[in-house]
Structure 1
Amino acid sequence: MEHLNLSANYFGGIVPPVVAGLPALRSLILDTNQFTGAYPAAEISKLARLEELTLASNLFVPAEFAKLTKLSFLWMSDVNMTGEIPKAYSRLVNLQVIAITKNNLSGEIPAWVWRHPKLEKLYLFSCGLTGELPRKMTAVNLIELDVSSNQLTGEIPEDIGDLKNLSMLFMYTNQLAGTIPASIAMLPNLRDIRLFENKLSGELPAELGKHSPLGNLEVCNNNLSGPLPESLCTNGALYGLVVFNNNFSGQLPKS
């Protein structure tokens, strides 16, 4: 057996070790059940071919699976995970998707996350994470980035403009301050920006929407000021603009 999907059922009790005793298994999907207890980490860590592991919306606390070096998809949402994001996960060099959401974590987002060479989607929302974003981000394959609903502080780094593949940027409901870096406006694939409920100030980047197919911009409940850039309507793709509770002034951009 290569694929085992038991998701979206009402299975309960502990997960039996035999579930992970399938050496050819490439995907193991157990989310949205009522499992309890600890996962059989010793058994699953021996699944050398495993590429996809989904444990979302269960009741057990996941252990570390750093031996699964072929893992490309790691989804652990709402699994009562506590403490810091395990450093051992940095050895999962083939990860393309990391989704560790709706947990009770502490500490900062590890530096290795921002350097991961193959990472395409990073979801770390609603986890209680603290600290600042790094000044340098070299995970250049990132397409979707969601670190919303945490307790992040500091500024959005100018080097976020190096993430040329980024299409979705969610950093809302944090404590980010400072200005929105001009480099964000130069991201060629950016479609959805959600930075609302922070402490951002200054003006929006002058060329925002000019160089990308920007469809949605949500920056309400900040301390932003100045005019709304004319470039917002340049590409004709804008369908959502949410800017209330700021200090914007001037005329509305022409459609």
Structure 2
Amino acid sequence: MGEIPPSIGWFPKIKSLILDTNQFDGSYPVQDISNLASLEMLTLEDNPFLPAPFPVEFGKLTHLTYLWLPGMNMTGEIPESISSLIELSLLSVTTNMLQGPIPTWVWRHKKLQYLYMFNNGLTSEISSSVTAVNLVELDVSSNNLTWSIPDDFGKLINLTLLFLYINQLHGSIPPSIGLLPNLRDIRLFENMLTGSLPPELGRHSPLVNLEVCDNNLSGELPADLCFNGKLNDIVVLNNNFSGKLPESLDGCCLLNNLMLYNNHFTGEFTKSIWSVVTNQLMTVMIQNNNFSRTFPTQL
């Protein structure tokens, strides 16, 4: 319990300050920490600080590469001063009370690899100009983001994780996302997305997880969804998908969850898919579709 002592600012050569998951309360020690000019890593996660705006003064810490600030009761908008942190490779401000747009500079940051902003009240659209090409993991889920998924996301060739779920995004998913070579996990559920899935999704990357339920997506599932044989989870329930299941699922021996219900799928399950079902799948939910025959006469 108690506040972080002001004496923390007496050691300007400190490079790492890790104070997360404690019982520090009171106000953020803004002035004291901002004096630590050599700081490269700062973590203040999960301390019961009094609600206060994102510290503008942290913009002085221009050597920071790692800024970890979840669960700090931060309010208001992300200040423009943080754009001066041009060495950042990781920025996490999850589970706060932040509002307003995600600043344009975030989407243009040259060294940023890991961006976590989920579980806030962030609003407005995602910038249409995205040049932060070193992004590896991007999670801005559980906010109030609007408009559409930028076409420029298809330029993020290092991206492995794309989490945009529980927002108010609409429009189509850019086809270029299906060409990303390293994409493993894509979660876009609980938005207002329309159109079809990118036709080449799964062919060019080791896709492991696909979750797009509770949208208004339609068309057939991509033919090569399990082309690389890595897929664990297909969660596409509560959409308007139709057509037969892609033949690539026949070789999807790592499937754990197949959740297709409340769509318009047709055709029948092949013996190969049911072989996976009986030997490996943990969850199969296929009700409220138009399958002609789901259980084969023999395996």
Q: Unaligned 5+ residue runs, structure 1?
A: 1-11
Deviation at 1:20, TM superposition (A): 3.4
Counterparts in 2 of 1:16-31, with a 5 A limit?
A: 16-31=5-20
One-letter amino acid of the counterpart of residue 55, structure 2: A
For 1:93, the equivalent position in structure 2 comes to: 86
Check if 1:173 corresponds to 2:166: yes
For 2:219, the equivalent position in structure 1 comes to: 226
Equivalenced residue count is 244
Q: Secondary structure at the match of 1:34?
A: coil
Deviation at 1:120, TM superposition (A): 0.4
Counterparts in 2 of 1:102-181, with a 5 A limit?
A: 102-181=95-174
Q: Distance in 2 between matches of 1:124 and 1:56?
A: 13
Task: Kindly report the root-mean-square deviation, in angstroms, between the aligned alpha carbons of the 2 structures.
Answer: 1.0
Deviation at 1:40, TM superposition (A): 2.4
Provide, for residues 27-51 of structure 1, a one-character-per-residue CA deviation record: whole Å limited to 9, x for no partner.
1111111111122222211212111
Q: Distance in 1 between matches of 2:208 and 2:214?
A: 20
Check if 1:40 corresponds to 2:33: no
One-letter amino acid of the counterpart of residue 173, structure 2: I
TM-score scaled by length of structure 2: 0.80
**Identity rate of aligned residues, in percent?**
60
TM-score scaled by length of structure 1: 0.93
Q: Distance in 1 between matches of 2:67 and 2:233?
A: 31
Check if 1:83 corresponds to 2:83: no
Q: Unaligned 5+ residue runs, structure 2?
A: 250-299
Q: Which has the higher contact order (CA 8 A, sep 6+)?
A: 1
One-letter amino acid of the counterpart of residue 199, structure 2: A
Contact 1:21 1:44 in 2 (8 A): no
Deviation at 1:116, TM superposition (A): 0.6
**Structure 1, 56-65 or 144-153: larger mean CA deviation:** 56-65
Q: Secondary structure at the match of 2:225?
A: helix
Deviation at 1:17, TM superposition (A): 1.2
For 2:66, the equivalent position in structure 1 comes to: 73
Q: Distance in 2 between matches of 1:41 and 1:133?
A: 29
One-letter amino acid of the counterpart of residue 175, structure 2: A
Deviation at 1:85, TM superposition (A): 0.4
One-letter amino acid of the counterpart of residue 40, structure 1: P
Check if 1:194 corresponds to 2:183: no
